[in-house]
C-alpha cells in the first residue's frame, strides 16, 4: 500500500500526456480495465501511478472488511459481509480508493490468500487469510515490471480478472471473494513481452519514452530537484493544481452515466475494430468506455468522433493482430486513413 509515502504531485509530471490521460480515464471509469505502460526506464511510469493515489475518489466500504466490500451493493458482498448483512446492519466507513502493490516476487499464497495459521492452531478452525487480491478489490492493482511476473502468479491474476472474483481452492481453504480491480502495469519491453491473455486484460496501453526537447528535460530536472529538496513545500505549491484535477475527476464521474453515444459513433467503433483486425470484443468495449470517459472528462455529455479516435489510439495498440514477433504498437497511419475515409 502506498500511503504514508510522500508522492510526487500528479499535476507536476512534465509531459507524458498519453499515460496521464490513460490513468485518469481509468479513475473516471474503472470498468475500462486498467492500463499497461510500456517504455524505457526513467520515464516517470511508477511516479505517475503512485501520484495517482492522491487523486483517487473516496468510496464507502464495509468497516473492517478485508476486501472493502461496497455496503450498498447487496449482491456483490463477500461471504463474510453477506453473512453479517443477513444478521444485521453492516458498519460503513468512507475512505480513499487505494493503490495496492503487487511485487514481482510475490508468492501465490500472498497473492491469492491462504490458510489462517493462528485460527488453525488456536481454534482448530480453517479460516481464510486474505491476500493481495482481497486488498485489490475496488482498488488499483499496480504491478511494476509486470512482464517479469512469474507464470503461475499471472495465472492467479487471470483467473481473478476474468470474473472479478478470486476463487481460492488451495492449501486447505476454500473461499471466494470479490476482486474487481483496475490493473495497472508498467514494463520495459526490452526485457520480454507479456502473455497474450494478460495483455488483453489491460484496457488501455500507452507507450512512453524520454522527451527530446531540451526544455522539457530541463523542467523535469528542475521540478524533481525541488521535490527532493523539500517535498512538502513542493506538494503545497502543486496542491491547487492537483485539487482542480481531482474536482474534474469527480465531475466527470458524475457526468459519465449521462454521456450519450449517437448511433453513428457506435458504428464508427465497431468499424474501426473490424478494419483494424483486432482480436475479440474487448477492443470495442474498451473503446466505447474510454470514449465516454474522455467526453466526461471534457465536460461534454455526448461522445464525438474525436473521442473515439483518441480512445482507439489507447485501446488498440496491444490488441492488433500481429505477425509473430511483430512489434506491439498501433498502425497510426492506418487509423488516420480510416478516420478520413469514415
- Binding to other proteins, residues 167-206 (CB under 8 A): 167-178, 189-193, 195-197, 199-200
Examine the residue annotation and report whether 309 is marked as an active-site residue of this protein: no
How many other CB atoms sit within 10 Å of the CB of residue 23? 24
Query: Which C-beta is closer to other proteins: that of 95 or that of 152?
Result: 152
DSSP string for residues in 105-151: T--HHHHH-EE-HHHHHHH----EE--HHHHHTTEEEEEETGGGS-H
Residues from 240 through 259 that contact other proteins (CB under 8 A)? 257
Query: Which C-beta is closer to other proteins: that of 237 or that of 329?
Result: 329
Least distance (Å) from other proteins to the CB of residue 48? 24
Query: Which C-beta is closer to other proteins: that of 14 or that of 85?
Result: 85
Helices (H), the chain: 17-28, 45-52, 79-86, 108-112, 117-123, 132-136, 151-163, 196-201, 214-229, 231-255, 263-275, 282-297, 305-315, 332-341
Binding segment for other proteins among 150-158, 205-213, 216-224, 235-243 (CB under 8 A)?
A: 150-158
Binding segment for other proteins among 224-232, 244-252, 283-291, 309-317 (CB under 8 A)?
A: 283-291
The correct pick among 108, 219, 301, 331 for binding other proteins (CB under 8 A) is 108
Binding segment for other proteins among 53-61, 107-115, 208-216, 244-252 (CB under 8 A)?
A: 107-115
Query: Which C-beta is closer to other proteins: that of 11 or that of 43?
Result: 43
The answer to whether residue 65 forms part of the interface with other proteins (CB under 8 A) is: no
Whether residue 313 contacts residue 283, with contact meaning beta carbons closer than 8 Å, is answered with: no
C-alpha–C-alpha distance, residues 260 and 213, integer Å = 39
Angle at 123 between CA 119 and CA 126, to 5 degrees: 50
Q: Which residues are catalytically annotated? A: 282
Amino acid at each position: 500500500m502506498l500511503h504514508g509515502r510522500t508522492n510526487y504531485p500528479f499535476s507536476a509530471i512534465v509531459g507524458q500526456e498519453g499515460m496521464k490521460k490513460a490513468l485518469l480515464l481509468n479513475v473516471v471509469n474503472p470498468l475500462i480495465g486498467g492500463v499497461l505502460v510500456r517504455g524505457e526506464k526513467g520515464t516517470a511510469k511508477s511516479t505517475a501511478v503512485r501520484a495517482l493515489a492522491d487523486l483517487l475518489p473516496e468510496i464507502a466500504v464495509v468497516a473492517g472488511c478485508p476486501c472493502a466490500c461496497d455496503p450498498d451493493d447487496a449482491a456483490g458482498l463477500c461471504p463474510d459481509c453477506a453473512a453479517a448483512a443477513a444478521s444485521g446492519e453492516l458498519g460503513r466507513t468512507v475512505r480513499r480508493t487505494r493503490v495496492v502493490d503487487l511485487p514481482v516476487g510475490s508468492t501465490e499464497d500472498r497473492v491469492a490468500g491462504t490458510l489462517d495459521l493462528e485460527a488453525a492452531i488456536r481454534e482448530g478452525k480453517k479460516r481464510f487469510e486474505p491476500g493481495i487480491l482481497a486488498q485489490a478489490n475496488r482498488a488499483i492493482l499496480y504491478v511494476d515490471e509486470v512482464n517479469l511476473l512469474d507464470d503461475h502468479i499471472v495465472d492467479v491474476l487471470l483467473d481473478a480478472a476474468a470474473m472479478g472474483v478470486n476463487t481460492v481452492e488451495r492449501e486447505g481453504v476454500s473461499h471466494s471473494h470479490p476482486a474487481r480491480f483496475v490493473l495497472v502495469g508498467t514494463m520495459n519491453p526490452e526485457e520480454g513481452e507479456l502473455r497474450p491473455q494478460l495483455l488483453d486484460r489491460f484496457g488501455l496501453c500507452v507507450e512512453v519514452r524520454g522527451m527530446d526537447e531540451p526544455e522539457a528535460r530541463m523542467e523535469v530536472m528542475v521540478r524533481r530537484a525541488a521535490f527532493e529538496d523539500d517535498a512538502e513545500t513542493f506538494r503545497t505549491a502543486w496542491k491547487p493544481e492537483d485539487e482542480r484535477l481531482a474536482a474534474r475527476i469527480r465531475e466527470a464521474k458524475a457526468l459519465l452515466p449521462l454521456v450519450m453515444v449517437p448511433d453513428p459513433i457506435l458504428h464508427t467503433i465497431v468499424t474501426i475494430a473490424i478494419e483494424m483486425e483486432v482480436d475479440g470484443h474487448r477492443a470495442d468495449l474498451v473503446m466505447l468506455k474510454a470514449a465516454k470517459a474522455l467526453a466526461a472528462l471534457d465536460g461534454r455529455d455526448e461522445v464525438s468522433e474525436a473521442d473515439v479516435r483518441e480512445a482507439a489510439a489507447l485501446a488498440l495498440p496491444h490488441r492488433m493482430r500481429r505477425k509473430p514477433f511483430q512489434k506491439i504498437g498501433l498502425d497510426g497511419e492506418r487509423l488516420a486513413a480510416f478516420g478520413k475515409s469514415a
